[in-house]
Amino acid sequence: MIEAMFSIENLIEIVKTGGRIKTGIDVYNKKGTLLLGKNEVVDRVRSLEIIQENGIRSVPVAPDGGLWDGNGNQIRMGSDGVIELIPPRPLKKSGLSVLVPVHESSRDIERRLQEIEMIKKETVQRYARATQCLKNALQQIRQTRGQFDVQAVESCVSGLVKFFVDADHPFQYMSREIFSHDDYLYQHSTNVCAIATAVLIRFNENFSHTIDRFLSENRADPGGAGRPEKRKSGAFNYYYPEDLTEISLGFFLYDIGKAMVPEKLLNKNSRLTEEEFQTIKRHSFEYGAKILEDNKINNRVLNNIVRYHHAPLFENEESCYPLDKACSDIPLYVRICKLADIYDAMTSKRSYKDALNQVSVITQLFRKYVKKDAVLQFVLHAFVKSVGRHPPGSIVYLENGQMAYVLDSIGPLVLPFTDNKGNTLSAKPDPIDMGSPGTQQLLKIDNGRSIKTPKEVYKFLPAYIKKVAMPT
């Protein structure tokens, strides 16, 4: 029997109005991870949005019906989305009151564990290279009072951006364990570049989808929105690939002016005097701007980032500088850089402070900025989607005290490996989709506890995870 396909938009409408649907097939993402199992009852819009975000436009529903309205009445829907009521039948509750294990074969799980570890390894190598490259540049500036090998930095960043795009935001695979504390400035700048680039790419994708949706709903050209002249296969972009590389170079060099600030001052752990603070401030609008000029970098994007990454994002924001530009004139990429800088500083461990939990930092950023400016809302949403997730390869705590290894940030899909007292499970469990409605009613990720790296909880790991997640 051929099952009719239903557009995800129509299915979302049903679920939004309190209805439920049951999918007729297993739905996988492009990495082969199961997003929704066959015959799974869906009553959360988010589950369908995740499928949509993976580029899937339509799915069949279960052949025995599979569509219910908000009153539990079975419905039939034509391909045009018109809904017709079928005489009522009691709603089966199966699938809603139990955890929803995702049945993947043991081989699939091992393959996924290995894939995560391989990307993590490559990310670590690329980070080490980028950090070294920045260290060299800053040392050259200190020695020559201004000159550095611009081309070496450019080629390093263009490789990094290509990797970010090809590996689908590899920052999410990064574990904080790779950051040593000796070279904080270089590592912090590399992090800011990685975080801000991931947010920028995500913002760009969201912008593209919004315009595409607008076009398909209105079947009209949006006129000034986007840049229609560069339209590619129906997608509009806010930034184009060549813009991205340039902006990422800016993210990488945003604090380059710190090369001219005495290291003693940069590493000072105690409170700065007013005079010292004034010297530090100069790293952006004065020293940074001069280094660009001395190296003949007459690029507006780089100049804006270097000069304005501490500028206010809303009227009267405190401790910001310089104040020679109206907040509304600060380009979007500079705002992203500033948020990435704050986020990374707050979530990094320093000699004088602990790292703050990533989820609570995102919450604080939201509280501070979300209502201040319409565009910032979109940036913050892109932020949550790119860094505020549970990274594959990381360890989370569930609310019942179990520890679980994250297989995929979509869901997220997790593999519990201890019982609720922290004893390592001897049997290999099925992964659990934490995003599925059935699971959410019973068990959630404990966001009050920080995400760990496999290294931090190594002694609790079962042998099959230890085998791939070697401590480095």
Interface residues with Fe ion (CB under 5 A) are 255, 341
Minimum CB distance to Fe ion smaller for 40 or for 255: 255
Handedness of CA 284, 331, 244, 204 (dihedral sign): positive
Q: Is 354 exposed, middle or buried (0-12, 13-18, 19+ CB in 10 A)?
A: exposed
Minimum CB distance to Fe ion smaller for 246 or for 255: 255
Minimum CB distance to Fe ion smaller for 337 or for 469: 337
Q: How far apart are CA 112 and CA 120, in angstroms?
A: 12
In the structure encoding, which two tokens stand for residue 178, read together?
């790779």
Check residue 20 and report its DSSP letter: E
Minimum CB distance to Fe ion smaller for 49 or for 324: 324
Asked if 211 and 226 count as a contact pair (C-beta separation under 8 A), the reply is: yes
Strand pairing report for 403-408 and 395-397? antiparallel
User: Per-residue b/e over 304-343, b at no fewer than 16 CB within 10 Å?
Assistant: bbbbbbbbbbeeeeeebbeeeeebeebebbbbbbbbbbbb
Report the nearest approach of Fe ion to the CB of residue 190 (Å). Answer: 12
Q: Which SS3 state, helix, strand or coil, does residue 422 take?
A: coil
Minimum CB distance to Fe ion smaller for 209 or for 282: 282
Q: How far apart are CA 460 and CA 424, in angstroms?
A: 6
Minimum CB distance to Fe ion smaller for 162 or for 349: 349
Report the nearest approach of Fe ion to the CB of residue 283 (Å). Answer: 6
Report the nearest approach of Fe ion to the CB of residue 255 (Å). Answer: 4
Q: How many CB atoms lie within 10 A of CB 268?
A: 14
In the structure encoding, which two tokens stand for residue 291, read together?
């280094």
Minimum CB distance to Fe ion smaller for 183 or for 430: 183
Asked if 81 and 10 count as a contact pair (C-beta separation under 8 A), the reply is: yes
Q: Is 351 exposed, middle or buried (0-12, 13-18, 19+ CB in 10 A)?
A: exposed
Report the nearest approach of Fe ion to the CB of residue 163 (Å). Answer: 23
Angle at which helix 150-166 crosses helix 241-253, to 10 degrees, equals 120
Report the nearest approach of Fe ion to the CB of residue 228 (Å). Answer: 36
Minimum CB distance to Fe ion smaller for 102 or for 256: 256
Report the nearest approach of Fe ion to the CB of residue 298 (Å). Answer: 21
Report the nearest approach of Fe ion to the CB of residue 305 (Å). Answer: 10
Report the nearest approach of Fe ion to the CB of residue 86 (Å). Answer: 60
